[in-house]
Structure 1
Amino acid sequence: MKACVIMTIKHRDVWVDYLRAAITVLVVAHHASLSYTTFAAFNAEAYVRSTHPVVDERRWLGLDIFQNFNDIFFMSLMFMISGFFVPGSLQRKGARGFITDRIYRLFVPFVAGATVLAFVTYYPPFRLAHGTGSLTAFLQDFFTTEAWPAGPVWFIWILLAFNLAYVPLSRVCGNALSLLGKRANVLGNKPVQAAVWLIIITWTAFTPLAYSAGAGTWTGWQPFDFQLSRIVLYFTWFLLGSCLGMGDFNKGLFAVSSRLVRNWKVWALLALLTFGVIVLISNFELLGKLVVEGKMNAFTGWMIYFAVFSISCSLSSIAFMTAFRALASKRAAWWDNLVSHAYLIYLIHYSFVIWLQYLLVNANLPAFLKFLLVFSFSLSLSWFAASLLKKVPFIRKYM
C-alpha cells in the first residue's frame, strides 16, 4: 500500500503536497477548537447562526488565539496552493477535459458533502436546540430555518467556481498571468520585495469588501454559502497560485537556495510577532478604545486593523511555505499516506468533529482536554474512513 501511494504522487512536489496535508490537519484542529472558545455562542432558534454547531460550557482562551491565528491565513493559503496545479492541468487536459475532471473532483464531492454528510453532521445541533430526535422535524428545520447549511464544503464549490472562471480568464489574460508569474518567480532573492508585494496585493483585495460588507460577513443561497468579505481575497490568492504554477517556482521564487526560503526562520518569527499585534488589538480592544475615546475615527481604526491583518496573513503564509520548502526534502511513508487521504479527510472530518463534541458536552473535563480528544479522534477516524472509501474505484481515481 505504501509503495502504491508513493508511485501515485512521486511526480508531485513533496513540499507542496506535505504543506497541503498539514493545512488539512490544521483545519481539523481548527474545527475541533471552535466548541471551546470563550466567544462561542449557541442560538437555539437557529443553530446555523451560532458561532459553531455545538457549543460547550467549558472554554479556554488559548483556543481563541489558536483559531484566530488559523482563520487569518489558512484558507487564503489553501486557495493559493490549489492554484499551483491549475495551469498544468488545463494544459494537459484541454478545456473540456479540465472542466469534466473538476466536476468529478469537486462538484460531486460537494453534492455528497452538502446532502448525506450534512444530514449526519447537523443532527446533533438540532437535538441540542430542540431536545427532540424526530427525523421529520430535523429535515424540515434543516431546509427551512437553517436554510440548508453545507459546512466546510463551501470551500469545494468556491474552488470549483474559481477553476471554471480560470478557463476563459486564461484565454483572455493568459499572457498577462504568465508575465506576472515570471516576475514573481524572480523574487526569490529579493524576499523583502516579495513580501511587500504580497502584503499590498492582500490588503487591496481584502479591504474594500471587508470594510463595506463587514469583516466576518457570509452570504449565499441554500448550500452555496461563501464568506463575502473575503471572496475577492481568496480569488486573488488563487490567481497568484496559478501564476506561480505557470513557471517552475521550485527553481524560482521557492528555490531551496533562494534568500526567501533560506530565511524561513525569520519569516516564522515575523509571522508570530505580527500575529502578536493582532492578539493585543483584539484582546485589549486597543483600536476600539481609541475610537470610543474620540482619539481616532472608525474608518482609520478599520484601515489599521485590515493592514495588520494583511501583514499577518501574508507573513504566516510565507512562513509555512518556506518552512516546508526548506525542511520537506525527503519523503516519509506516513506523510505520503496522509497526502493521499487529505482531500477525503477534509470532506468528512466535520461529521466526526460535531458528533464527538456533542458526545462530550456533558463530560466533566477541561476544555483543552476535550479539544485534544475531539481533534485526535476526528483526525484518526476521518483518516481511517478515508482509507476505506479509497477502495471505491471512482473515489480512488478522483479523490
Structure 2
Amino acid sequence: MQQTPSRTLWIDYLRSFLTVLVVAHHSSLAYTTFASFDKVAYIRSTHPVVDTQRWIGLDIFENFNDVFFMSLMFLIAGLFVIRSIQRKGTGAFVRDRFYRLFLPFLIGGTLLNLVAHYPSYVLAHGHMGALAYVEDFFIVEQWPVGPPWFIWVLFVFNIIFAFIYMACRSKFESAKSTEPRSYQPAILIICAFLFTFALYVPFAFWLGPYKWTGFGPFDFQVSRAALYFGYFLLGTWLGHVNFNEGMFSPSAPLVCRWPLWIFMCGLLYTSLTVASPYLTTLVKTGTLSEFPGYLIYFTIYTLSCTFSCIAFMTTFRALAKRHHRAWDSLSEHAYLIYLLHYPFVLWTQYALLDAPFSAFGKFLITLLAAFLGSWGISIPLKKIKWIEKYI
C-alpha cells in the first residue's frame, strides 16, 4: 500500500495498534475481578456482559490501557488537523468531519449498539422479546453509546478547533514552523507531565476520577474531558511544528532513548499498581489523610500516562520503518474495526458464559473473534465506494 503525502507510516501503525488495544480492552472487561452486572439496568454494570470466571491479570491489563490509551488516541487524532484544514478549507473540513465522524457515530451508537447489547438484555430479563428490548434500550438503558463515544467527542473537538482556526488564521499561518527543531528530552518530559497533571488532577479531585455524564448516546467521561481536549490540542500543535522531522525525528534524543521510556512506562505503571492498595490502607487506618493520599496516587497516575504516551510514540517512531502488508491492511481498516468490534465482543462473551475455560482463555477467544471478525467484515465494506470515500 503506497503511503499518501498526508500520511505518516509510524503514526498509522501506532493508531492501528491502539485500535487493537481497544478491542483487547473491551474483550477483558467481562473477566476482571471488579466486574459486576446490574439486572435492573445493565447500563450501570461495569460491562454489558459479566462472566463468573475472573483473573486479576486482566485487571492489570485493563487498568494499564485505561491510564493512557484514550489520551494518546486523541493526541494522534489532532496531528494532521491543521494540515487538513489548510488543504481543504474550513467549510470542507467541517463537512468531511460530519460525514467521517458524526454519521458513523449515529450508526454505531444506534444500530450497532442495538445488535451488541441484546445479550445484556437477555441476561438481565431472561426473555428475548425484540420490541421489549428496543424499548428497554432507549428508555431504561437510555441509549447506551459504547465505544462510539470517542467518535462524537472527537467530532466536537474538531469543530471547536475549526472555529479556533478561523478566528486565529493569521497567527497559525505566520507561526508555521519552517525549520524542524529538536528538544531536550528532560524538558519535554517535564512539560508533558505538568501539562497532563494540570489537565487531569484538579478535575479528578473536583468531579471524581470515574464520573461520566451526558444525554442519550452523547455520553462522555466528564472528569477527563479537559485531559482529552488538551491532548487533542497538543496533537494539533505537534503537527504544526513539523513533529516528524523535529522532536520525533529518527535521530532526535527523545526517540533514540525509546528503550528507557519503555522501561519507565513499565516501572511507573507497576508503581501505580502497587501504590493503590497501599495508599488505600494508609488512608483507611488514618495514617494518611485522604487529600495527600489521592494527590500521591494522581501524581503517579499522570506520570504513568505521560511516560506511556512517550514510550509508545518513540518506540513506533524508532521501529516502524518499513511497510508490512498485514499491518498496512490493519491500518487501512482500523477505523472500521473500531466501529464494528463491539457486537463481536459482547456476543462472544455471552456465548462463552458456560464454556469450561479459564478467564484468560475466554479473553483470548473473545479477542480473536472480535478482532478477526471485525477486520474480516471491514475489508469488503471498505470496497463500497461511499464507505471508502469517508472511512
- TM-score for both structures, normalised by structure 2: 0.97
| Superimposed CA distance per residue, residues 305-342 of structure 1 (whole angstroms, 9 cap, x where no aligned partner) | 11111100010010000000000011111111111100
Partner amino acid for 2:273? Answer: V
Aligned-pair CA distance for 1:253: 1.1
Q: Do the aligned partners of 1:150 and 1:225 also contact (CA within 8 Å) in 2?
A: yes
- Distance in 2 between residues matched to 1:268 and 1:257, nearest whole Å: 18
Separation in structure 1 between the aligned mates of residue 48 and residue 110 of structure 2, nearest angstrom = 17
How far 1:176 sits from its partner (Å)?
6.9
Is 1:71 the equivalent of 2:66? yes
Whole-angstrom distance in 2 between the partners of 1:52 and 1:105: 27
1:89 paired residue among 80, 84, 88: 84
Aligned to 1:253, which of 231, 247, 254?
Answer: 247
Aligned-partner Cα distance in 2 for 1:210–1:178: 36
Matches within 5 A, 1:223-262: 223-262=217-256
- Displacement of 1:180: 9.1
Is the 1:181–1:244 Cα contact (8 Å) retained in structure 2?
Answer: no
Q: In the alignment, is the contact (CA less than 8 A) between 1:177 and 1:243 conserved in 2?
A: no
1:54 CA displacement:
0.3
Match of 1:277 among 267, 271, 274: 271
**Which SS does the other structure have where 1:225 is aligned?**
strand
Q: How many percent identity over aligned positions?
A: 47
In structure 2, the partner of 1:43 is: 38
Q: Give the AA of the match of 1:69.
A: F
Structure 1 265/174 Cα, relative in aligned 2: closer, same or farther at 3 Å? farther
Q: Say whether 1:14 aligns with 2:14.
A: no
Any residues of structure 2 matched to 1:99-138 within 5 Å, and which?
A: 99-138=94-133
Distance 2:54 2:173 in 1: 48
Q: Summarize the alignment of residues 302-317 of structure 1 with structure 2, pairs less than 5 Å apart.
A: 302-317=294-309
Change (3 A) 1:269 1:179: farther
- Is 1:207 aligned to 2:190, yes or no? no
How many residues are treated as equivalent by the alignment?
Answer: 391
Q: CA deviation at 1:97?
A: 0.2
Aligned-residue offset at 1:136: 1.1
Describe the superposition over 1:48-75 as per-residue Cα deviations: whole angstroms up to 9, x where unpaired. 1000000000011100000000000000
1:182 positional shift: 5.9
Describe the superposition over 1:167-210 as per-residue Cα deviations: whole angstroms up to 9, x where unpaired: 11123456777899969x74x44111101100100010011211
Deviation, 1:250, is 1.2
Distance 2:170 2:223 in 1: 29
Q: Is the 8 A contact 2:177 2:242 kept in 1?
A: no
1: CA distance, partners of 2:230 / 2:201: 13
2:13–2:327 Cα contact (<8 Å) kept: yes
**Structure 2: runs of 5 or more not aligned:** none
CA contact (8 A) 1:349 1:379 kept: yes
1:369 correspondence with 2:364: no
SS at match of 2:245: coil
Report if aligned partners of 2:90, 2:166 keep a CA contact under 8 Å in 1.
no
What CA deviation, in whole Å up to 9, does each residue of 1:147-169 have, x standing for no partner? 10010000000000000000111
| Match in the other structure for 1:156 | 151
The separation in 2 between residues aligned to 1:224 and 1:232, in whole angstroms, is: 16
Asked if 1:54 corresponds to 2:49, the answer is yes
Give the RMSD, CA atoms, in angstroms: 1.8
Alpha-carbon separation, structure 1, partners of 2:336 and 2:241: 29
Contact 1:178–1:246 under 8 Å retained in 2: no
Consecutive unaligned residues in structure 1, runs of 5 or more: 1-5
CA–CA distance in structure 2, aligned partners of residues 130 and 175 of structure 1: 59
SS of 1:255's equivalent in the other structure is coil
1:217 maps to 2:181? no
Q: Is contact 2:3-2:9 (8 Å) kept?
A: no
Residues 278-303 of structure 1, C-alpha deviations (whole Å, 9 max, x = no match):
11023xx2112222222222111111
8 A Cα contact 1:124 1:358, kept in partner: yes
Counterpart of 1:351, as a letter, is P
1:250 is paired with a residue of what secondary structure?
helix
TM-score, length basis structure 1: 0.95
